[in-house]
Amino acid sequence: MFSNLKEQPADKILQLMQMYKDDPREGKIDLGVGVYKNAEGVTPVMRAVKAAEKQLWQDQTTKAYVGLAGDPAFGDAMVDLVLGDAVPRGQVAAAATPGGTGAVRQAFEMIRMANPDARIFVSDPTWPNHLSILKFMEMPTVTYRYFDSATGGVDFDGMMADLEQAKAGDVILLHGCCHNPTGANLNLTQWQAVIDLMLKKGAMPMIDIAYQGFGDGLEEDAAATRLVASMVPECLIAASCSKNFGVYRERTGILMAVAQDSDLRGLTQGTLNYLNRQNYSFPPDHGARVVTMILQTPELRADWAAELEDVRNSMLGLREQLAGELQRLSGSDRFGFIAQHRGMFSRLGTSPEMVAKLREEHAIYMVGDSRLNIAGLNRDTVPVLAKAIIDCGI
Ligand code: LMR
């Protein structure tokens, strides 16, 4: 039986993690996987998470099952965090999932159940695992232009022209903020134009929001998702707590479905519960419970938001420093986009050969499409990276 199996393609991001681990060189720099690291290169457990876990350890009296959609309090807290009061709560179905990836997977499953012919429009580029999951599920996928490597910004005209191909029942996958892998984002006027186009075409938005709080702030980063949810009849939102709560390995995420009315919400909620049952039964609870405690307890919430704000500002500082250093060394503004980008990533816009050269000659690891994790840098390694970029002739 097992001999029938075929070798599967390695995930490029995870493969790079391993290559970095195996590299014996001192001073190697990891700008690969999207994990936040502080100036000491550590991914800390956030203060509020530690405090909530301690309290949970003291207070929790059972680990019995909770419910197929997870704890409803988690659903409420996350709907509030992501959607605010953009839509009436009675129209939102929600189910906890194993991380943001679990939410993405369940969203695709639900789309396929509702409309097997739906085509999923994804940005070129998008998070590689979007494409990998869609391929695995054999769902029709169409790419739309997104990144303009000449400017480091969004190719908005190209994007709109490609989205014109969408038909009623198709799905447009959008990154709510902090686009992964490029770091280039739409402004709210552009979001409005995309919404108008989706309404005109009858296409449904699906938003993946994995970095709320890493770009311009918790509220600011949710603004586009809220605008979409308030204007379209239906949408799906996959949200992750991995990054903004730093609970990566706890697998904490949520899939929300905004329905047109409370009847459709009920049908949708039943479907989300059913899908959880089929795929893994009950979703993980520990991370979700910790997140709920933080969001519901004013002191914990304030401390979490303050620490997240420090994380965000440190990444913005590193962006400014890198853009400044590259401007000094290159004598040009061509890397200015690094300071404009938001979130954990920026795409340099260079070739895979140059990315390999940075790795081989300078022990600097970034994903092959030239995505670099800004949080993998610190004040001392920014000049090292800038010099390497210029030395490689990028
Ligand atoms: C990333 O894009 O690096 C992260 O989302 C981690 C992952 O699972 O790929």
- What residues does each domain of the chain span? 12-44+301-389, 49-299
pLDDT value at position 352? 95
Nearest ligand 1 atom to the CA of 11 is 9
Calculate how far, in angstroms, residue 168's C-alpha sits from the geometric centre of ligand 1.
Answer: 31
33 lines ligand 1 (CB under 6 A): yes
Report how far residue 135's alpha carbon sits from residue 272's, in angstroms, rounded to the nearest whole number.
Answer: 22
Rounded to whole angstroms, the Cα distance separating 339 from 347 reads: 12
Q: Is residue 180 within 6 Å of ligand 1 at its C-beta?
A: yes
Find, among 263, 211, 227, the residue nearest to 86 by Cα: 227
Query: Ligand 1 centroid vs 246 CA: distance in angstroms?
Result: 13
What's the CA-to-centroid distance between 34 and ligand 1, angstroms?
A: 5
For the record, the structure tokens of 41 come out as: 């290169």
Which of 99, 79, 57, 90 minimizes the C-alpha distance to 288? Answer: 99
Looking at residue 10, its pLDDT comes to 87
Does the pLDDT value for residue 116 go beyond 90? yes
Mean pLDDT, range 96-108, rounded to an integer: 98
Q: Best mutation site among 11, 129, 178, 369 for ligand 1, i.e. most ligand atoms within 8 A of its Cβ?
A: 129
Q: Is 49-299 in CATH node 3.40.640.10? A: yes
CA 318 to chain centre: 20
Q: What percent of the chain has pLDDT over 70?
A: 100
pLDDT at 82: 98
pLDDT at 108 over 90: yes
Cβ of 13 below 6 Å from ligand 1: yes
The predicted structure's pLDDT at residue 375: 94
Cα(100) to centroid(ligand 1), Å: 10
Mutation choice for ligand 1 from 14, 16, 17, 33, CB with most ligand atoms inside 8 A = 33
> One fold for both 12-44+301-389 and 49-299?
no
Q: Is the CB of 131 under 6 A from ligand 1?
A: no
SS (H, E, C) the chain: CHHHCCCCCCCHHHHHHHHHHHCCCCCCEECCCCCCCCCCCCCCCCHHHHHHHHHHHHHCCCCCCCCCCCCHHHHHHHHHHHHCCCCCHHHEEEEEECHHHHHHHHHHHHHHHHCCCCCEEEEECCCHHHHHHHHHCCCCEEEEECEECCCCEECHHHHHHHHCCCCCCCEEEEECCCCCCCCCCCCHHHHHHHHHHHHHHCCEEEEEECCCCCCCCHHHHHHHHHHHHHHCCCEEEEEECCCCCCCHHHCCEEEEEECCCHHHHHHHHHHHHHHHHHHCCCCCCHHHHHHHHHHHCHHHHHHHHHHHHHHHHHHHHHHHHHHHHHHHHHCCCCCCHHHHCCCCEEECCCCHHHHHHHHHHHCEECECCCEEEHHHCCCCHHHHHHHHHHHCCC
Mean pLDDT, the chain, whole residue set? 97
Q: Is 99 left (phi over 0), alpha (psi -120 to 50) or beta?
A: left
For the residues 261-285, what does the mean pLDDT come to? 97
Q: List the residue whose alpha carbon is closest to atom 6 of ligand 1.
A: 34
Residue-wise pLDDT tens digits, 313-351: 999 999 999 999 999 999 999 999 999 999 999 999 999
Inform me whether the pLDDT recorded for 239 exceeds 90. yes
Tell me the CA–centroid distance for residue 33 and ligand 1, in Å.
Answer: 6
Give the list of residues 6+ apart from residue 302 with CB closer than 8 angstroms, or none: none
Question: 205 - beta bridge partners?
Answer: 172
Nearest residue (by CA) to ligand 1, atom 5, is: 34
Query: Given a cut of 90, is residue 11 above it in pLDDT?
Result: no
What is the mean pLDDT of the segment spanning 43-65? 97
Average pLDDT over residues 306-316: 97
Which ligand 1 atom lies nearest to the CA of residue 127?
2
Q: Is 114 in the pocket of ligand 1 (CB under 6 A)?
A: no
Ligand 1 atom 1 nearest Cα: 34
**What residues are annotated to the active site?**
127, 208, 210, 243
Distance 312 CA to ligand 1 centre (A): 18
Fold of the CATH domain 12-44+301-389: Aspartate Aminotransferase, domain 1 (3.90.1150)
